[in-house]
Amino acid sequence: IVEQMVDSLEENIRDMFKSWEQEPAYKIYEIVHKRRVKLDRAVGIGAAAGAFVPLLAERMQCQSFVHSLSPVANALGAAVSRPTLSLLLHADTQQKSYYLNLEGISGQVSRNFQLADAKELAKKHLQELARKRGMEAYASQHEFFLEEQFNMIRGWSTMGKLFDVGIQIVPGVINEFEGVHDR
């Protein structure tokens, strides 16, 4: 099983490097000096890293590094991960309504509702849901991952607009995290 895992990792890494090398060149220097990507170190974390990372590094002819806290790295990461929340808002100005993908939330919008209004409404709901779930400290750290607007046309007239907006609390670490200290 370890050999199969190392085979799979090696193949995927080589494929990834090949795709990077085949990206279009935009500068003369890049054309003249073809880029070759080579692994210089294989770093592993997680309980199984000690079993396969040294083998992978040997095959790929590079250094191997598995931290002493590797077996608990995933747990440490989970312990300091910021809580996340995302939502999708769909608005239809022809129907004069909107709804969220969470908690059955819906409401009314005006016919002149715009993308900026949809983003503001999505942000308001994210902040409210974050507050209800005890995550309001992170609600201001948000990003939009979806912003779409479509005109609805019938005949030669615009009958309304559809908006789809996605917003999320940006993934990261909790505010209390101060880093790792060696003792």
Q: Provide the pLDDT for residue 27.
A: 65
Q: For 85-120, what is each residue's pLDDT tens digit?
A: 999 999 999 999 999 999 999 999 999 999 999 999
- Cα separation, 54 vs 164, in Å, equals 47
* pLDDT reading at 26 higher than 80: no
49-59 vs 2-21: helix axis angle to the nearest 10? 50
129: closest CA among 150, 101, 94?
101
| Domain residue extents for the chain | 2-80, 86-169
18-32, 56-70, 120-134, range with the lowest pLDDT:
18-32
pLDDT surpassing 60 at residue 183: no
Tell me the per-residue pLDDT of 118-149, one tens digit each, with 9 for 90 and over.
999 999 999 999 999 999 999 999 999 999 99
Q: Which two tokens stand for residue 132?
A: 């209800």
Class of residue 60 by CB neighbours under 10 A (exposed 0-12, middle 13-18, buried 19+): buried
